[in-house]
Chain A
């Protein structure tokens, strides 16, 4: 079984620039999550999708962050414009459905904003 694929692995941008991350979950996994992990902290949920619908985006800074999962498969997370404090690893995870125990995480995209 192929894992959760994320790209790019690393990205360096200047503040106020835009950036996008891509995630392809495990085939058949209906639920997809984006987490932000700041250095030295645990992952924090940004948004949860069930198929192509948003289940929870209460912790997504909607003034600058957006995410979509148009066809209910892969997903993109965008930051526009980026701030220094957005420097973090952005992790995508998927599970079979909302009631499945234990996610499978991708390797993440490390974003550095300078």
Chain B
């Protein structure tokens, strides 16, 4: 029973263009959502988060959108850079700091 799903295993984008990574969830009790970035042979690093009381959170080139009615969130990276090439995980929590439920990840490749 996958409560958090990332249906695109990979995404390829040209440098300078927008990258859009999608995530869907099924548990309506989730109230906090996070995105992590993972490079090979490293642990995931926290990127950006959003509380369920918001529908958008922005941090530099990264913006996360939350659509609670659709149980869908997305991460926008504008402009995309080759250094953004990594695996991106969506995660959700029912309570802040409680256990995170991760999606399967999307591998982003930004081509120069």
Contact = CB atoms under 8 A, between A and B. Distances in A.
B100 A101 contact: no
B99 A56 contact: yes
A31 B41 contact: no
Contacts, number: 60
Contacts of B49: 101-102
The interface residues of chain A, by DSSP majority, are classed as loop
A33 B99 contact: yes
Interface residues of B, number: 26
Given A102-B34, A102-B49, A105-B43, A43 B97 contact: no
Interface residues of A, number: 26
B98 to A, nearest CB: 7
B42 A40 contact: no
A98 B98 contact: yes
B43 A40 contact: no
Contact of B96 (A33, A91, A101): A101
A26 interface: no
A108 interface: yes
A98 B97 contact: yes
Interface in A60-106: 91, 93, 95, 97-106
B25 interface: no
B99 A105 contact: no
> Which of B34, B91, B95, B98 has its CB near the most chain A CB atoms (within 10 A)?
B98
A45 B99 contact: yes
Contacts of B36: 105
Given A56-B99, A97-B97, A103-B46, A42 B32 contact: no
Interface of A: 4, 31, 33, 40-45, 48, 56, 91, 93, 95, 97-108
